[in-house]
Amino acid sequence: MNDSPGWASPGSDPSDREQGANPQPAQPDRPDSKWSAEQPPPGQWSNPGTGQTPPPAPPQPGAGWGGYGKQPGGPPYAPGGWGKPPAAKPGVIPLRPLGLGEILDGAVTTMRTHWRSVLPLTLAVAVVIQLISLSLQRTVLSDFLVTPDENATPDELLDSLGGSLVVSLTDSFIQLVGSVIVTALLTMIFSKAVLGQASSIREAWHGARPQLPKLAGLALLLTLGALAIAAVLMLPGVAAGSVGLLVFGLIVALGLIAWLWTKFALASPALMLERAGIAQSLRRSSKLVGGSWWRIFGISVLTNIITGFVAGLIVAVFTFIGGLVSSDGLSGVLDGRGVDSWPFLIISGIGTVIALTIVLPMQAGVTVLLYIDQRIRREALDLELARAAGVENYGGNQGGTPGSTPPPAGS
């Protein structure tokens, strides 16, 4: 055990461990090599100033393996310390397994630094999302918007609740599809931001264009799968006319959709960065998420809570303004009579576009950085990223996971 690095006392000579069995004779040409006849008792040190240099003090806590080179009063991470050096950070994140704060900070930093490339792409997708949502609300979903009066029967209340639920779920699915598309389009920008490089809209579009048909197929597959799950599990309650059975089916459907959506959450960046097909990207996401489902689910939920709060504030302001300019006023908006008027829909739609333009890049950035983090943890992607960023003398154990294997060629 004493032959293992780090177990011997700092500054000790391996030959000192042998003195008890094979003492070495003093050298005649060194007059100070003879031991004095009078030695202080064991366990006592000489007083300062007596001509004898006291032995070095034992290392302080934090100067060992856990605190690289952190000597009392000295600079942090001084050369010659025992612990690991800090991971290289050529871009928005350090090249090592990431924590929650680093993932959120990396997404926000990329949005702030590369806003000229991020915001126009997100704005275009947000406008398309809102136009589709408004068109559906004015045509297909207009029959579902039932506003009950004060003397409404339980059946009418149930119809109103069901109609509002259908409209809300439809909007949510449209935004989820938009989030998948935004994630794919911004993957190139975020991947270069990790390397400390900028990417223009033209470069991002050029990199994403070959994969757009596959991206559309992936978004369509995820959407249809979620709708099919919800329809199958809610159908018994609708057929039986039972509110309890309908609510139970909805809860089960939402749980299953959340599980599958998290399992395939990394499919979009895998499809774009690895140039994979739809089925292969789904398998890659399932493999990367395996064993870390709860962590990825928790980070995704926290991100949605934060972005939902920000979006809610923005939409609330524009909804208030829309209520003021609506013909029915705020009272009409509150009781549901003015929610389908064009002034209210246009102003609230502008607020929704602004909110989506802000929150979609945040959600996309977290997804891309989760993908990179999982590959760093499982495949030592930090080595490839360091080489791509031109980081010199980047060791395999500096930021990556010991014993991990390099990523597949071409990925």
Residue in the block written with tokens 């004898």 = 52
Structure-token pair, residue 241:
């006319």
- Number of domain units in the chain: 1
- Cα dihedral value 262, 265, 267, 268, nearest 10: 160
Tokens 């959709």 belong to 257
Where residue 393 falls among pLDDT bands split at 50, 70, 90?
confident
Domain that holds residue 205: 100-389
Whether residue 194 is contained in a domain is answered as yes
What pLDDT does 79 receive?
46
Q: Which amino acid is residue 152, in one-letter code?
A: A
Flag whether 51 is in a domain: no
**Average model confidence (pLDDT) across the chain:** 74
Considering the domain boundaries, does residue 47 fall inside one?
A: no
* Residue 375 pLDDT exceeds 90: yes
Instruction: Give me the pLDDT at residue 329, please.
Output: 59
The answer to whether position 405 is within a domain reads no
* Separation CA 194–CA 175 (nearest Å): 26
In a domain, 71, yes or no: no
Per the model's pLDDT, the better-predicted residue between 43 and 96 turns out to be 96
> DSSP letter string over 343-392?
HHHHHHHHHHHHHHHHHHHHHHHHHHHHHHHHHHHHH-HHHHHHHHHT-T
Residue 348 lies in a domain: yes
Q: Is residue 15 part of a domain?
A: no
What is the chain's percent helix, strand, coil content, to nearest 5?
65, 0, 35
Residue 148 domain flag: yes
Predicted confidence at residue 65, as pLDDT, reads 41
pLDDT at residue 292, rounded to an integer: 94
- Is residue 54 over pLDDT 70? no
Structure token digits, residue 289: 């998420």
In the structure encoding, which two tokens stand for residue 322, read together?
């829309």
Q: What is the C-alpha separation between 375 and 309, in angstroms, rounded?
A: 30
Amino acid identity, position 382: D
Least confident among 214-218, 392-396, 400-404: 400-404
pTM of the predicted model over 0.85? no
Please name the residue ranges forming H helices in 139-153. none
pLDDT at 336: 56
Place of tokens 């159908």: 235
Higher pLDDT: 141 or 229? It is 229
**Per-residue confidence band for 38, with pLDDT thresholds at 50, 70 and 90:** low
